[in-house]
Chains A and B, each alone.
Chain A
């Protein structure tokens, strides 16, 4: 086997599928976005902040609620798990002290699933939160890294590739911050903030070194994705006048 591994769609191991993001696509929602990576497409809508929190939630902080709508069929265990992972991931990027005792609902509608669905949904939700002007600490970018049987790491797999893999990891990183605060304050003990993991979900057996390799490759790709996210968020300034109340 040569050093380059062939992928069915002719991509190189590190190459992502074409990304597309558009915001403010739903009229009634306070914020909305669609995000697609190749043939995987997810629609996210944000409603809120609405008054009050649910039971068992801390009323001194803002509460985040995630509702996952699958393309077809009913909500199963995997979807419930996605909801919880999304909720905890989004909670960690939102500034929860700003709107205490409120609930923000994020509705995720799967349009088509061709692999890396959860990372795609996280990216869509993040863009929708920006569109709804929910106060955030920073943005997040999610990526799927796969480990082939022969030990190669490939990024952003299609569904067919995902099924052939030995193991995969969904990783979420903070996007690289552009800050007016002088160098050094965004570093934590010599490490860049965007190298920290917000969320990690893995499936399948791999060696610890393989996981660390996935981390490295994921981090490298996340810089490209955060540049794309920043570009697409800047190009469409939200027009606040036409929002439904």
Chain B
């Protein structure tokens, strides 16, 4: 299957350069160069890609394929590794194509606010350090980071994935505060999708530390070594070390360009075709978010439904990837 795509891709490259020649006499050399197949021909295609990025991509779209040999509706290869950070209570590394996200959850005990005495809380932060993209400069925070951060906390909190009551330890006295930090290590498009996947996976991997009440009525963490010895102090949260996660949210970002819908765009595609639609569905098929921040292409109801259908398929894929990662973890 893959070999066939690659073959088609190579053929396309040849064709697209032929078309260049028809449109642009100055690049006439390309055909002969391409046929002989030396290194300079590669350079010329690359030059075309840089000079006329939109035409380059549209030539591929005409044949319902993309420069990285994907069909329009297919997402990039996705992998997930749980427990990537040993010092965190739960962590995951998610990769969608080259886009890489590292998520980690740290649990702290806090006094719950008076309005909700038997609920814990979750604080979510998304970071884009300068290593993730050439567009992010040291000392100048990325414009996108606070937006993705806000979107993530809206999505995770409103999806009802986590029952905040489960984070309570002693009503009115102590509850868990879950700090979820997501680091973008490589930003190659569809940042929100990868970040949400990493966040959901980190919560599925979360092991809540064992705590007990000491003489003063304060909550202390029972360390692993003396867990056996201190039998007189009953742990407060024995048997409650995993969260019951219900209706997990998963997302897919699509590009709308003319009548085409491109699933899971790369950073290059995002910069050339600017209309993005991000759909978040939970595992029971309910819509958690439909996010389209402007863009030159208008989304009609039919396109919206096509994006939702693509997301439905993707949710199935992501669910099985997550389940596989969890079962791999249990075998270890």
**Which residues of A are at the interface with B, using a C-beta cutoff of 8 A?**
56, 77-78, 80-81, 84-85, 87-92, 167, 169, 172, 174, 188-189, 191, 193, 195-208, 210-212, 215
Give residues in B with beta carbon < 8 Å to A.
135, 143-144, 146-147, 149-151, 154, 158-160, 259, 277, 282, 285-296, 298-302, 304-305, 308
A56 to B135 Cα, complex, angstroms: 7
CB neighbours (8 Å) of B160 from chain A are 205
Contact of A81 among B150, B288, B299, B308 (CB under 8 A): B150
Q: In the complex, what residues of B have CB within 8 A of residue A188's CB? A: 298, 300
A199 contact from B135, B288, B294, Cβ within 8 A: B294
Kindly state the separation between the CA atoms of A188 and B292 in the bound complex, as whole angstroms: 19
User: Between A and B, how many residue pairs show CB distances below 8 Å?
Assistant: 98
Can you report 29 residue pairs joining A to B where beta carbons are below 8 Å apart?
A77-B150, A80-B146, A80-B147, A85-B293, A90-B294, A92-B296, A172-B294, A174-B298, A189-B300, A191-B302, A197-B299, A198-B295, A199-B294, A200-B277, A200-B291, A200-B292, A200-B299, A201-B293, A202-B289, A202-B291, A203-B154, A203-B158, A205-B158, A205-B159, A205-B286, A206-B287, A207-B287, A210-B287, A215-B304
Q: How far is the CB of B148 from chain A (nearest CB, A)?
A: 9
Top-5 shortest CB links A-B: A196-B298, A88-B294, A89-B294, A92-B294, A80-B146
Which residues of B lie under 8 Å from residue A200 when comparing CB positions? 277, 290-292, 299
Q: Contacts of B305 on A, CB cut-off 8 Å?
A: 208, 212
Does B146 contact A77, Cβ atoms closer than 8 Å? yes
A89 CB to closest chain B CB (Å) equals 4
Nearest-CB distance from A107 to chain B (Å)?
A: 18
Residues of B within 8 A of A212 (CB): 301, 304-305
Residues of A within 8 A of B159 (CB): 205
B150 contact set on A, CB distance < 8 A: 77-78, 80-81
Report chain B residues within 8 Å CB of A87: 294
The smallest beta-carbon distance between B180 and chain A, in angstroms, is 15
The answer to whether A211 touches B287 (Cβ under 8 A) is yes
Task: With both chains docked as a complex, state the minimum distance between the C-beta of A97 and any C-beta of chain B, in angstroms.
Answer: 11
Most buried by A among B147, B149, B154, B300: B300
B294, A191: Cβ atoms closer than 8 Å: no
Q: B300–A205 contact, CB under 8 A?
A: no
Q: Given that A81-B150, A92-B295 are known contacts, is A202 also in contact with B301, CB under 8 Å in the complex?
A: no
Q: Which of A81, A172, A191, A202 is close to B147, meaning CB atoms less than 8 Å apart?
A: A81
Question: In the complex, A80 Cα to B143 Cα: how many Å?
Answer: 9
Which residue of chain B is the closest to A174 with respect to CB atoms? Answer: B298
* Interfacial chain A residues near B301, Cβ < 8 Å: 195, 212, 215
| Contact flag A203-B289 (CB < 8 Å), given A188-B300, A191-B300, A208-B308 | yes
Query: Hey, which chain B residues are within 8 Å of A80, CB to CB?
Result: 146-147, 150
CA–CA, A89 and B292, complex, Å: 9
Alpha-carbon gap, A211 to B294, bound state (A)? 18
Known: A189-B259, A199-B292. 9 other contacts (CB 8 A): A84-B144, A92-B295, A174-B298, A189-B300, A193-B298, A197-B292, A197-B300, A200-B290, A200-B291
Do B293 and A199 touch across chains, with their CB atoms under 8 A apart?
A: yes
**Cβ contact within 8 Å between B298 and A205:** no
